[in-house]
Amino acid sequence: MLTILGFVMIATFLVLIMMKKMSPLAALVLVPALFCVLVGKGAHLGEYVLDGIGDLAPTAAMLMFAIIYFGVMIDVGLFDPIVRLILRFCKADPVRIVVGTAVLAAVVSLDGDGSTTFMITVSAMLPLYRRLKMSVLVMTCVAATANGVMNTVPWGGPTARAATALELDAGEIFVPMIPALAVGLLFVFFLAYVLGRRERRRLGLLTLDEGDALARDVAAPGARAAEPVLAAVGGPDAPAVAVAGAGGPGRVPLTKGRFPTGGGAGRDSADQPGTGDADARPAGATTATTTATTTASDADAAAADDPQTLDPNRPTLRPKLYWFNAALTAALLTLLILQTLPIPVLFLLGAAVALTVNFPHMPDQKARIAAHSENVLNVSGMVFAAAVFTGVLTGTGMVEHMARWLVDGVPDGLGPHMAVVTGVLSIPLTYFMSNDGFYFGIVPILAEAGAAHGVSPTEIARASLVGQALHMSSPLVPAVYVLVGMAKVEFGDHTRFTVKWAALTALVVLGASLAFGII
């Protein structure tokens, strides 16, 4: 009965948030509370919730101070050069932008922390997606999937947990998996290319010169430039031109692109919700020449309405302290990787130093904390709400019964292939439960079953890493709320769009592991 109720509880939660019948925070609290009563353990609800909160409190503290720290670094301009570099590479081509998102997320993921990866990636890339009216869900999908693959680094969590649970060396697990994980990362880049092509077909291709309005608007302090728009000339198959307003000293050179037949910027495919922006294809473009311009004041107003846009003239910039902030961030990430101190303590100290040095006056410090309080409250609230879900799932015994049901359901004939079974099971199980629950509760059971058929614990441990590409989009992963919160997208929309691609990436990693003889 507990097994059935466990699966029904998870399914109920997912259906409610994907159909937008409840907010994730409410569903994380009310659904498990209801099922706790249904299993006859309502009297223990408080105990389960407090246990869950106790387990996740350090994570909530880490996220709270990490958001403040990286929020301050964004305010003072630490990541502005990254934005300029990406702009030079991406220009205004959706394919380059989506691939650039994947590369940036993969590189930043080397620090082993998903929250910092998402904060940096969203801060750098979101202005481009907003300006070009691209689907922000593409950004969250690519960032989450790339981070999931890279999350397998020994200091990222899953590998260390697998090593601890099975009493193995982390290097022995991770190093042989590198070729398979590299294939998985290449697949993420290919996925980014495919999704970028889809966005290009939907929006049309807009390529501008190095000095274009978009680059000046984000990268050049003091510049006043119009937002470029697409105008189709002559008919649906006619080339489009980029038209810029006369905000600068001269007109921006025009570069031809193409509108796809039957594609408009405001139309989204069935599995790709839009960003809610206006249609960039002018009405009546199929029968007459149409051009549109956006004045500099309009562009400035749009930037003011979008708090995620990096204003090159914002008063919080601290160019004289750039190298200090860069050194502080590098030192913080180094200490994080070396695990010199607990991660929450490192971010607490880092946030205190960053605020004190960059904003020595108390009113300025309060203003910076207030500016990021919405993200702090949203993310920490989600973490504590998730603690209710995990506390009930674990405390009532649902997780244990679900795991044993799955393991017992493996036919005896698959015993010699238990590593493959573990890889397949890791995809849904790491999505439906925390890494702690999976690696400390289920992987030892799978290893025990595999040992009876001559499968080594090392192979089981390697196979257990396969599902991490999907795990990073799990509602039980606190970092994903940083991603959707900063990107300002609904968690249900992100889930619907991302799950299929992340699961496919995990299967690619599994296939590569088999091809290379790793498991």
pLDDT given for residue 321 in this prediction: 92
Which has the minimum average pLDDT: 219-223, 319-323, 408-412, 491-495? 219-223
| 66-70, 225-229, 365-369: which is most confident | 365-369
Average pLDDT over residues 322-340: 85
Q: How confident is the model at residue 402 (pLDDT cuts 50, 70, 90)?
A: confident
Average pLDDT over residues 165-178: 83
Q: How confident is the model at residue 297 (pLDDT cuts 50, 70, 90)?
A: very low
Q: Which helix (H) or strand (E) holds 265?
A: none
Contact 50, 189 (CB under 8 A): no
Is residue 50 scored above 60 in pLDDT? yes
Average pLDDT over residues 499-509: 94
What dihedral angle (degrees, nearest 10) is formed by the CA atoms of 143, 105, 219, 367? Answer: 80
Average pLDDT over residues 77-96: 78
Task: Quote the pTM value.
Answer: 0.65
Helical axes 398-408 vs 443-451, angle rounded to 10°: 30
Neighbour order of strands in the sheet with 229-232: 229-232, 239-243, 256-258
Which has the minimum average pLDDT: 153-157, 304-308, 342-346, 417-421? 304-308
Is residue 241 scored above 80 in pLDDT? no
Map residue 257 onto helix, strand or coil.
strand
Is residue 274 scored above 60 in pLDDT? no
pLDDT given for residue 148 in this prediction: 92
Is residue 77 scored above 70 in pLDDT? yes
Q: Give the Cα separation of 432 and 467 in Å (integer).
A: 11
Spell out where 203-264 has E strands. 229-232, 239-243, 256-258
Q: How confident is the model at residue 155 (pLDDT cuts 50, 70, 90)?
A: low
Q: Give the Cα separation of 411 and 139 in Å (integer).
A: 40
| 164 vs 33: which has the higher pLDDT | 33
Q: How far is CA 6 from CA 11, 49, 412, in A?
A: 9, 16, 25
DSSP code string of 115-146: HHHHHHHHHHHHHHHHHTT--HHHHHHHHHHH
Is residue 487 scored above 70 in pLDDT? yes
13 contact partners, CB below 8 Å, separation of at least 6: 27, 28, 31, 32, 389, 475
pLDDT tens for residues 275-293? 433 333 333 333 333 333 3
pLDDT given for residue 131 in this prediction: 80
Average pLDDT over residues 111-131: 80
| 276 vs 512: which has the higher pLDDT | 512
pLDDT given for residue 111 in this prediction: 64
Contact 51, 396 (CB under 8 A): no
Contact 184, 512 (CB under 8 A): yes
Q: Provide the CB-side half-sphere exposure for 334 (13 A, CA).
A: 6
Q: How confident is the model at residue 83 (pLDDT cuts 50, 70, 90)?
A: low
Strands 229-232, 256-258: pairing is: unpaired
Q: Give the Cα separation of 152 and 178 in Å (integer).
A: 9
Cα 324 to the chain's mean position, in Å?
28
Strands 239-243, 256-258: pairing is: antiparallel
pLDDT given for residue 450 in this prediction: 82
Cα 114 to the chain's mean position, in Å?
8
CB atoms within 10 A of CB 356: 10
pLDDT given for residue 503 in this prediction: 94
Q: Two tokens at 54? A: 């106790």
CA 192, 282, 223, 67 torsion: positive or negative? negative
Contact 136, 490 (CB under 8 A): no
Q: Two tokens at 78? A: 């630490």
Which has the minimum average pLDDT: 181-195, 219-233, 356-370? 219-233
Contact 181, 175 (CB under 8 A): no
Is residue 185 scored above 80 in pLDDT? yes
pLDDT tens for residues 413-466? 777 888 898 999 899 888 887 787 788 767 877 887 788 778 888 999 999 999
| 258 vs 184: which has the higher pLDDT | 184
Q: Two tokens at 153? A: 């680094």
CB atoms within 10 A of CB 122: 26
Average pLDDT over the chain reads: 75
Q: Which residue, 414, 418, 423, is CA-closest to 513?
A: 423
| 94 vs 61: which has the higher pLDDT | 94
Q: Give the Cα separation of 84 and 67 in Å (integer).
A: 22
Average pLDDT over residues 147-174: 81
Q: Two tokens at 488? A: 């300002």
What is the percent of the chain with per-residue pLDDT over 70, rounded to a whole number? 77
Map residue 232 onto helix, strand or coil.
strand
Average pLDDT over residues 14-29: 81
One-letter amino acid of 278: A
Contact 5, 39 (CB under 8 A): yes
Helical axes 114-131 vs 45-76, angle rounded to 10°: 60
Q: Which single residue is written with the structure tokens 């007459």?
A: 288
